[in-house]
């Protein structure tokens, strides 16, 4: 985490799953910022790694991961 970005890793259930990170200041994830799409790979144990920028310091964020969206 920096003052304007964050890195999030997650493991999904299978390889070749298209995922992206959603980040919002609202707990219902309205008006989110989106990361780029990342596809899971068995060579990485199905762990996806996201970096998202455009965040504001000293702000609470909520996040979710969209799968095959």
Long-range contacts of 27-34 (CB under 8 A, 24+ apart): 27/62, 29/62, 29/63, 29/64, 32/64
Mean pLDDT of 50-61: 95
pTM of this prediction?
A: 0.89
Mean pLDDT of 5-26: 97
Query: What would the pLDDT profile of 21-44 be if each residue is shown by its tens digit?
Result: 999 999 999 999 999 999 999 999
9: closest CA among 62, 38, 47? 47
């Amino acid at each position: 985490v920096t003052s304007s970005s964050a890195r999030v890793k997650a493991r999904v259930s299978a390889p070749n799953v298209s995922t992206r990170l959603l980040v919002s200041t609202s707990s219902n994830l309205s008006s989110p910022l989106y990361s780029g799409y990342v596809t899971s790979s068995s060579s990485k144990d199905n762990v996806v790694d996201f970096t998202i920028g455009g965040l504001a310091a000293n702000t609470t964020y909520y996040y979710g991961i969209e799968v095959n969206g």
